[in-house]
């Protein structure tokens, strides 16, 4: 692994020269029998995988009309070809979004269209052979489902959905990825992706209370499983464990303290992340989301607030309403969803992002800051893909871009933007999203980080940027790992609430 080096920055960032086959290979570690069976998937590649895979594809095509449209609509115009960070970083033409879709499209044509059934060669249709299946496994695990390509596609084809469908098909025949499936097993069994049991969680939170007391002299609490609290905070388990994540957790706690909010964490739902989305599996997605409903009902909370986790916010904002009844839209006959609807306080947005919570408090003048505490930082903001292109914040278009930036500007004096071609809805993935944040995929992670590192480096050269704030646990972990490979200090990345934590003044407001 130590021989993985960063690709050179491009002199002119245009379509790179092609290197066919650059990322050919076996893909990430395949999930073991034990891991697969624990979450209800076939343990190993089934004997009749061909027929099963085609049948599953037919099922998905009839269930998800979007998938069928994506299979049919592409005209190979090329608009997406140079928009994927993995293509830019690896130069492997199969990492062009259109080529990634074509891995599935060629099989679709062979089995589901008349011309493909009759004249496969004329229409680029392919049999689903073992070689094709292995190619799927490799290249559909080189997509982070970030949806940047779909911003540029004139038809709005969403490669993320194609990747999700492919992974769903692969899982249904026992050919899943170890990293994601192992984590899904842990969230069901232990309550979070890390496998952090309740006692360890409590010990960690007590330690944080001591630390904050030592730093500030104030008793900031980190409550867990408190019945009757107003707010239930759902945050990625990395916030309890990793650096720099934990500094944002301290930031949330300080905001709750300063606003006098009664809040609690839940040991049952000690995870915001939902890897069910990454593998395109609705049942897993729902099952993971239902833990949160269960915890909310049990604790009797009035509000649900989500911490700094990109894909969790997409799931929460876009899917929780129908999945679990957090937000309006669950079925009338879904008894527990309706029960939760009655319980929650609808004067507030359900769910609320922690950035919405903090920004609202800032606007109400409920928080005070010593901005100079962040003066050692020249800060930029990395938009996380799932927040940018899969959700929103606030009650105006683009709130998911403005609100985190507004917070940074309220707590710090030095803020600059990166190249606008790499921010907001055009943001580049960190390179580790969508279930790729695993050591066995480090090469693609390092290469996929190239466009973001180029933009950061430019901001560093032009403005002296030394801190890149973000609101996603995956982004934080990914950058901590790849920044040093690009010659940066790993602590250049951190959370928005880490900055809030640095500057917030606790104690009685004047």
Partner 1 sequence: MANIEVDGKSYETDEEGYLVDLTTWNADVANYIAKVENIDMTEQHWEVINFLREYFEEYQIAPAVRVLTKAIGKKLGADKGTSEYLYGLFPYGPGKQACKIAGLPKPTGCV
**Contacting positions for partner 1 (CB under 8 A):** 1-2, 29, 32, 178-179, 182-183, 186, 192-197, 199-200, 203-204, 207-208, 211, 236-238, 240-243, 245-246, 271, 273, 309, 437, 439-440, 473-474, 476-477, 481
Adjacent-strand bridge partners of 303: 231
Closer residue to partner 1 (CB): 109 or 382: 382
Closer residue to partner 1 (CB): 158 or 271: 271
Closer residue to partner 1 (CB): 159 or 192: 192
Q: What is the closest distance, in whole angstroms, from the C-beta atom of residue 69 to partner 1 in the complex?
A: 32
DSSP states along 296-354: HHHHT-SEEEE-S-HHHHHIIIIIHHHHHSSSS---TT-HHHHHHHHHS-TTS-SSEEH
Q: What is the closest distance, in whole angstroms, from the C-beta atom of residue 252 to partner 1 in the complex?
A: 15
Q: Is 351 left (phi over 0), alpha (psi -120 to 50) or beta?
A: beta
Closer residue to partner 1 (CB): 254 or 302: 254
Closer residue to partner 1 (CB): 325 or 435: 435
State residue 345 phi and psi, 5-degree precision: -90, 110
Q: What is the closest distance, in whole angstroms, from the C-beta atom of residue 292 to partner 1 in the complex?
A: 17
- Report residue 459 CA to chain centroid gap: 24
Closer residue to partner 1 (CB): 35 or 344: 35
Q: From CA 388, how far away is CA 398, in angstroms rounded?
A: 8
Q: What is the closest distance, in whole angstroms, from the C-beta atom of residue 497 to partner 1 in the complex?
A: 15
Q: What is the closest distance, in whole angstroms, from the C-beta atom of residue 182 to partner 1 in the complex?
A: 6
Q: What is the closest distance, in whole angstroms, from the C-beta atom of residue 476 to partner 1 in the complex?
A: 7
State residue 80 phi and psi, 5-degree precision: -85, -15
Closer residue to partner 1 (CB): 392 or 476: 476
Q: What is the closest distance, in whole angstroms, from the C-beta atom of residue 166 to partner 1 in the complex?
A: 22
Closer residue to partner 1 (CB): 87 or 241: 241
Q: Is 403 within 8 Å of 421 (Cβ atoms)? A: no
Q: What is the closest distance, in whole angstroms, from the C-beta atom of residue 238 to partner 1 in the complex?
A: 4
Strands 493-495 and 467-470: parallel
Q: Is 432 within 8 Å of 478 (Cβ atoms)? A: yes
Note if the bond before 306 is cis, omega within 30 degrees: no
Buried/exposed 192-231: b ≥16 CB within 10 Å, e otherwise: bbbebeeeebeeebeebeeebeeebeeebbbbbbbeebbb
């Amino acid at each position: 692994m130590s021989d993985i080096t960063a690709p050179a920055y491009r002199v002119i960032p245009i379509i790179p020269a092609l290197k066919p086959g650059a990322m050919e290979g076996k893909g990430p570690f395949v999930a073991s029998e034990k891991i697969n069976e624990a979450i209800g998937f076939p343990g190993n590649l089934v004997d009749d995988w061909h027929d099963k895979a085609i049948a599953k594809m037919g099922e998905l095509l009839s269930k998800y009309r979007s998938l069928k449209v994506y299979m049919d609509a592409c005209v190979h115009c090329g608009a997406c070809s140079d928009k994927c960070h993995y293509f830019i970083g690896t130069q492997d033409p199969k990492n062009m979004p259109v080529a990634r879709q074509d891995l599935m499209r060629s099989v679709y044509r062979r089995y589901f269209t008349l011309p493909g059934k009759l004249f496969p060669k004329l229409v680029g249709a392919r049999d689903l052979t073992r070689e094709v299946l292995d190619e799927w496994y490799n290249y559909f695990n080189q997509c982070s489902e970030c949806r940047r390509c779909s911003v540029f596609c004139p038809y709005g084809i969403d490669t993320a959905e194609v990747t999700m469908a492919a992974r769903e098909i692969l899982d249904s025949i026992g050919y899943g990825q170890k990293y994601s499936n192992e984590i899904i097993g842990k969230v069901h069994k232990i309550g979070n992706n890390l496998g952090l049991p309740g006692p360890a969680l409590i010990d960690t939170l007590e330690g944080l209370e001591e630390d904050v007391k030592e730093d500030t002299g104030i008793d900031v609490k980190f409550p867990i499983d408190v019945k009757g609290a107003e707010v239930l905070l759902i945050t990625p388990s990395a916030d309890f464990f990793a650096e720099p994540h934990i500094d944002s957790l301290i930031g949330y706690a300080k905001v709750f303290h300063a606003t006098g909010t009664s809040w609690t964490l839940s040991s049952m739902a000690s995870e915001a992340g939902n890897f069910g989305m990454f593998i395109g599996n609705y049942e897993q997605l729902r099952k993971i989301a239902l833990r949160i409903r269960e915890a909310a009902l049990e604790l009797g909370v009035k509000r649900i607030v989500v911490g700094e986790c990109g894909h969790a916010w997409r799931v929460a904002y876009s899917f929780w309403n129908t999945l679990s009844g957090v937000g309006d839209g669950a079925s009338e006959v879904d008894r527990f969803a309706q029960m939760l609807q009655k319980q929650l306080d609808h004067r507030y947005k359900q769910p609320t992002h922690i950035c919405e919570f903090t920004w609202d408090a800032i606007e109400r003048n409920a928080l005070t800051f010593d901005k100079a505490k962040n003066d050692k930082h020249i800060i930029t903001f990395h938009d996380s893909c799932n927040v940018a292109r899969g959700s929103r914040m606030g009650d105006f278009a683009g709130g998911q871009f403005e609100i985190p930036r507004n917070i940074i500007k309220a707590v710090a004096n030095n803020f600059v933007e990166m190249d606008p071609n790499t921010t907001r809805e055009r943001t580049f993935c960190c390179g580790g999203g969508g279930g790729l944040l695993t050591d066995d995929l480090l090469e693609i992670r390092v290469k996929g980080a190239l466009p973001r590192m180029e933009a950061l480096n430019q901001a560093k050269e032009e403005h002296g940027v030394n801190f890149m704030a973000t609101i996603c646990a995956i982004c934080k972990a990914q950058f901590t790992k790849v920044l040093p490979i690009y010659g940066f200090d790993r602590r250049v990345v951190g959370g928005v609430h880490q900055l809030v934590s640095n500057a917030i003044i606790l104690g009685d407001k004047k």
